[in-house]
């Protein structure tokens, strides 16, 4: 189900609180969270109250499995001189060269010494091979080279300490293989790529390279693979770009169209290898299986990354194995995730846009997001990690997902997060909840409290979900930040669902949803909350307005979907203060995510008044008697309590 994004609205006091949280948690680069605020006394008081109650967002604590790659002068240097090089002029059955380090037989050009080789021309039914025991680097300068092989890899590096393919400035180069190979090693299925290297391989330069793979993979290195620069286009019937020890993209433009994985590193024998590092550049991937897949870690420092995997989110299927605590059992032939890593995914910056049939970001262990812009449309989970997810900063927009963010331990310290989910919005699950036991999606077994945890210490979070919006098969702790919820309309789900505790010590929470499973923060909280329930469902767009008896606006909230319960927690809810609740009416203020700031509220009908005497105040009716709920008797209609 693809839910409409709900819109909420803010009062002047509330907006000041929200901005205080978002500015504490986010950097100046997160422009979507910044806004001007009313500088009057009420706003200043709200900011001061926020600071006193919540402090600053906590720093990230999750271990980050960073990786690094050393680049030497051969990797960096894309310049070359004809005076120091051997020129190879390709021509079918008539290739010539001007040095002694080349051997030609049956249209196969073999390079036997280290050095620089400038390759140009067209060769059909042949290949360029590198086979040298020299300790120096072999540099293949492609300067208008077009090679088509009828039975093997057009470029096959058999032996070399290191090979660098240089794409000459202004050149267009094309490499194409056939659908069948004569293998030199049948047991190992080698070679099996249009460019196949059994040793370290680097690509640099400013020219362009098109690689057409009709047999299996397009570019494969059995050791390290570095892409430093260039304009590279890959069309592959197998994997697009594959480096066993690692794939590192320093810069350049990389376009991959693959029937299997887009970019892959597959060393499963060394925990320090098998990773993918993207430091910059533009990477565009269309893959029928995983977009990016690493045996250990994926690290993105910056860059522009676009991924479509498995036909996109419209082609997705929710899989029962995609639960925290249960190993990912996808085989190489059916995994259709955007970015997938066995050990971890770490994002520091850049722009990442994923449309995936399966999880958009998936780790069998942990995920850490520290900046950048992530947009995800998923046929299953938006962001999933079996062990832990930590979000410290960045812009995250999950436009479509079954479950938005899911892991055993979820910690949000900052950032601007938007989630649109057909089931749970944020789900902290250790695999013991009913959702993971095949029961109704989004509904945990309240008789069994798990060990999962959701910790919110900062940031701005907006959730629009058809299932539980914040769901913990364990406990929730909120110390800071802003959470706005457009929750479920069905009574088998709740805007808040936890079977342990929900301790609220700071921050701002506004949640609209159904009443059958309604919960509020628990009584161990140190910040006051109120849960307001109506005897009947309120139509979408019906405004709720709360103000204190002395006229201070607390909340002006207009949920987009039908609702029966509103939960609010704020440092502005004061013990001993009486508040009046209105429904309907209109506001002339400015709206964001259903909350209004500024302007004047008018035209509403008074529902009820309440005086805060406990940390959790319930008003009206509620159908849930679990933690945070009072299990009150059925009340009257709105306006007639």
DSSP string, 171-232: -EEEEE--S----SBTTTTBS-EEEEESSEEEEEESSEEEEEESSSEEEEESSEEEE-SSEE
Q: CA-CA distance, 195 to 201, in Å (whole number)?
A: 10
Residue 498 pLDDT > 90: yes
Residue 60 pLDDT > 70: no
Mean pLDDT of 274-284: 98
How many CB atoms neighbour CB 120 within 10 A?
A: 18
Q: Considering the domain boundaries, does residue 302 fall inside one?
A: no
| Token code pair at residue 463 | 């959730």
62 band by pLDDT with thresholds 50, 70 and 90: very low
Q: Identify whether 191 is preceded by a cis peptide bond (ω within 30 of 0).
A: yes
Q: 96 in helix, strand or coil?
A: strand
Would you state the pLDDT for residue 584?
Answer: 97
Phi, psi of 76 (to 5 degrees): -80, -30
* Residues 103, 239 within the same domain: yes
Would you state the pLDDT for residue 622?
Answer: 56
Residue 500's domain comprises 1-58+482-641
Nearest to 181 by CA among 231, 122, 127: 127
- Domain count within the chain: 2
| Token code pair at residue 530 | 């109120």
**105, 135 contact by CB (below 8 A):** no
Enumerate the β-bridge partners of residue 227. 203, 249
Q: Considering the domain boundaries, does residue 383 fall inside one?
A: no
CA 37 from centre of chain: 31
Q: What is the pLDDT of residues 507-523, one digit of tens each?
A: 999 999 999 999 999 99
288 band by pLDDT with thresholds 50, 70 and 90: very high
Would you state the pLDDT for residue 239?
Answer: 98
**84, 141 contact by CB (below 8 A):** no
Under 8 Å CB-to-CB from 409, ≥6 apart: which residues?
387, 388, 389, 428, 452, 453, 455
Nearest to 485 by CA among 499, 497, 500: 497
Q: 47 in helix, strand or coil?
A: helix
* Residues 164, 114 within the same domain: yes
Q: Which of 249, 274, 294 is the last residue of a domain?
A: 249
Angle formed by the axes of helices 41-54 and 12-25, nearest 10°: 40
* Residues 585, 516 within the same domain: yes
Q: CA-CA distance, 242 to 229, in Å (whole number)?
A: 17
Mean pLDDT of 482-503: 96
Q: Considering the domain boundaries, does residue 168 fall inside one?
A: yes
Q: What is the pLDDT of residues 93-117, one digit of tens each?
A: 999 999 878 999 989 999 999 999 9
**112, 131 contact by CB (below 8 A):** yes
* Residues 81, 122 within the same domain: yes
* Residues 25, 84 within the same domain: no
Among 522-526, 555-559, 568-572, 617-621, which stretch is predicted with the lowest mean pLDDT?
617-621
**318, 379 contact by CB (below 8 A):** yes
Among 34-38, 285-289, 461-465, 475-479, which stretch is predicted with the lowest mean pLDDT?
34-38
* Residues 238, 147 within the same domain: yes
Q: Considering the domain boundaries, does residue 151 fall inside one?
A: yes
Residue 46 pLDDT > 60: no
Q: CA-CA distance, 18 to 20, in Å (whole number)?
A: 5
Q: Which of 200, 215, 249 is the last residue of a domain?
A: 249
* Residues 30, 133 within the same domain: no
Q: What is the pLDDT of residues 325-349, one digit of tens each?
A: 444 545 555 899 999 999 999 999 9
Q: Considering the domain boundaries, does residue 452 fall inside one?
A: no
Nearest to 535 by CA among 594, 467, 623: 623
Q: What is the pLDDT of residues 385-409, one digit of tens each?
A: 999 999 999 999 999 999 999 999 9
Would you state the pLDDT for residue 20?
Answer: 40
Of all residues in the chain, what percent carry a pLDDT higher than 70?
81
Highest mean pLDDT among 52-66, 71-85, 435-449, 605-619: 605-619
Would you state the pLDDT for residue 450?
Answer: 82
Q: CA-CA distance, 458 to 442, in Å (whole number)?
A: 25
Q: Considering the domain boundaries, does residue 321 fall inside one?
A: no
Mean pLDDT of 425-429: 97
Q: End-to-end alpha-carbon separation of the chain, Å?
A: 35
| Token code pair at residue 156 | 């096959």
Q: CA-CA distance, 86 to 99, in Å (whole number)?
A: 5
Maximum distance among all alpha carbons in the chain? Answer: 99
Q: What is the pLDDT of residues 581-613, one digit of tens each?
A: 999 999 999 999 999 989 999 999 999 999 999
| Token code pair at residue 536 | 């009947």
Q: How many CA atoms lie within 13 A of 306 on its CB side?
A: 8
Phi, psi of 37 (to 5 degrees): -130, 155
Length of the chain: 641
Instruction: Determine which helix (DSSP H) or strand (DSSP E) holds 241, and give its type and residue range.
Output: strand 241-243
Cα angle value 114/115/121 (rounded, 5°)? 115
Place of tokens 């929200």: 18
Would you state the pLDDT for residue 65?
Answer: 58
Q: What is the pLDDT of residues 192-237, one digit of tens each?
A: 999 999 999 999 999 999 999 999 999 999 999 999 999 999 999 9
Instruction: Give the CA distances from residue 607 to residues 64, 456, 579, 582, 589, in Å, rounded to whole numbers and listed in that order.
Output: 50, 32, 11, 5, 22
Enumerate the β-bridge partners of residue 465. 421
Strand boundaries in 402-519, DSSP class E: 403-407, 409-412, 416-421, 426-428, 452-465, 470-472, 474-486, 496-498, 502-504, 508-513
Q: CA-CA distance, 12 to 552, in Å (whole number)?
A: 10
**276, 294 contact by CB (below 8 A):** yes
Mean pLDDT, the chain, integer: 85
Would you state the pLDDT for residue 16?
Answer: 40
How many CB atoms neighbour CB 439 within 10 A?
A: 12
Would you state the pLDDT for residue 432?
Answer: 60
Would the CA dihedral through 326, 331, 334, 337 be positive or negative? positive
Would you state the pLDDT for residue 29?
Answer: 35
Q: CA-CA distance, 335 to 288, in Å (whole number)?
A: 9
Q: What is the pLDDT of residues 549-569, one digit of tens each?
A: 999 999 999 999 999 999 999
* Residues 510, 579 within the same domain: yes
Q: Which of 195, 227, 249 is the last residue of a domain?
A: 249
* Residues 54, 107 within the same domain: no
Q: What is the pLDDT of residues 293-320, one digit of tens each?
A: 999 999 999 999 999 999 999 998 655 5
* Residues 7, 104 within the same domain: no
Q: Considering the domain boundaries, does residue 458 fall inside one?
A: no
**446, 402 contact by CB (below 8 A):** no
Place of tokens 């609702």: 563
| Token code pair at residue 285 | 């991937």
* Residues 36, 157 within the same domain: no
Would you state the pLDDT for residue 189?
Answer: 80
Enumerate the β-bridge partners of residue 509. 483, 569
| Token code pair at residue 53 | 């109650």
Among 11-15, 34-38, 78-82, 501-505, which stretch is predicted with the lowest mean pLDDT?
34-38
Q: Considering the domain boundaries, does residue 112 fall inside one?
A: yes
* Residues 19, 87 within the same domain: no
Residue 492 pLDDT > 50: yes
Nearest to 640 by CA among 549, 533, 535: 535
**595, 496 contact by CB (below 8 A):** no
Among 55-59, 131-135, 380-384, which stretch is predicted with the lowest mean pLDDT?
55-59
């Amino acid at each position: 189900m693809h839910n409409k994004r709900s819109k909420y609205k803010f009062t002047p006091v509330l907006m000041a609180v929200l901005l205080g949280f978002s500015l504490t948690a986010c950097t100046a680069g997160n422009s979507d969270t910044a806004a001007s605020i009313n500088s009057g006394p009420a706003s200043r008081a709200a900011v001061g109250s926020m600071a006193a109650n919540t402090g600053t967002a906590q720093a990230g604590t999750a271990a980050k499995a960073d990786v690094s790659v050393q680049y030497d002068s051969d990797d960096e240097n894309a310049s070359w001189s004809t005076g120091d090089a051997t020129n190879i002029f390709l021509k079918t059955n008539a290739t010539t060269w001007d040095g002694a380090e080349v051997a030609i037989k049956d249209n196969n050009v073999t390079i036997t010494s280290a050095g620089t080789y400038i390759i140009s021309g067209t060769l059909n039914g042949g290949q360029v091979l590198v086979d040298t025991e020299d300790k120096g680097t072999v540099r293949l300068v492609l300067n208008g080279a077009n090679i088509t092989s009828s039975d093997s890899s057009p470029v096959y590096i058999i032996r070399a300490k290191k090979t660098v393919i240089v794409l000459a400035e202004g050149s267009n180069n094309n490499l194409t293989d056939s659908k069948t190979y004569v293998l030199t090693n049948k047991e190992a299925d080698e070679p099996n790529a249009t460019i196949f290297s059994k040793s370290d391989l680097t690509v640099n330069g400013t020219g362009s390279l098109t690689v057409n793979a009709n047999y299996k993979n397009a570019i494969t290195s059995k050791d390290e693979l570095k892409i430093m620069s260039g304009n590279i286009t890959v069309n592959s019937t197998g994997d697009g770009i594959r480096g066993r020890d690692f794939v590192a993209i320093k810069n350049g433009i990389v376009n991959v169209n693959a029937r299997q994985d887009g970019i892959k590193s597959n060393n499963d024998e060394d925990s320090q290898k098998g990773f993918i590092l993207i430091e910059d550049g533009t990477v565009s991937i269309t893959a029928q299986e995983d977009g990016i897949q690493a045996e250990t870690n994926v690290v993105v420092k910056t860059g522009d990354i676009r991924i479509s995997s498995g036909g996109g989110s419209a082609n997705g299927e929710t899989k029962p194995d995609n639960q925290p605590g249960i190993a990912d059992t996808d085989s190489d032939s059916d995994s259709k995730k955007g970015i997938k890593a066995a050990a971890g995914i770490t994002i520091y910056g850049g722009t990442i846009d994923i449309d995936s049939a399966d999880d958009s970001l998936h780790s069998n262990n942990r995920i850490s997001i520290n900046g950048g812009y992530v947009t995800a449309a998923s046929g299953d989970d938006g962001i999933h990690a079996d062990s832990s997810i930590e979000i410290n900063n960045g812009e995250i927009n999950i436009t479509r997902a079954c479950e938005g963010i899911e892991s055993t331990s979820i910690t949000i310290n900052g950032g601007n997060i938007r989630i649109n989910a057909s089931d749970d919005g944020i789900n902290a699950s250790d695999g013991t909840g009913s959702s993971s036991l095949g029961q109704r999606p989004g509904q945990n077994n309240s008789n069994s409290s798990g060990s999962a945890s959701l910790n919110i210490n900062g940031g701005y979070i907006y959730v629009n979900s058809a299932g539980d919006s914040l769901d913990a098969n364990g406990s929730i702790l909120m110390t800071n930040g802003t959470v706005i919820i457009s929750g479920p309309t069905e009574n088998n789900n709740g805007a808040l669902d936890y079977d342990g505790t929900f301790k609220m010590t700071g921050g701002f929470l506004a949640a609209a949803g159904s009443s059958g499973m309604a919960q509020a923060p628990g009584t161990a909280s140190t910040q006051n909350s109120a849960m307001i329930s109506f005897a009947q469902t309120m139509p979408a767009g019906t405004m709720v307005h709360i103000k204190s008896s002395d006229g201070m606006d607390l909340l002006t909230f207009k949920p987009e979907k039908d609702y029966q319960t509103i939960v609010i927690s704020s440092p502005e809810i004061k013990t001993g203060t009486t508040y009046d609740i209105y429904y309907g009416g209109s506001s002339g203020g400015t709206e964001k995510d259903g909350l209004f700031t500024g302007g004047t509220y008018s035209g509403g009908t008074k529902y009820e008044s309440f005086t805060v005497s406990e940390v959790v105040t319930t008003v009206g009716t509620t159908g849930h008697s679990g933690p945070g709920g009072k299990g009150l008797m059925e009340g009257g209609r709105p306006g007639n309590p």
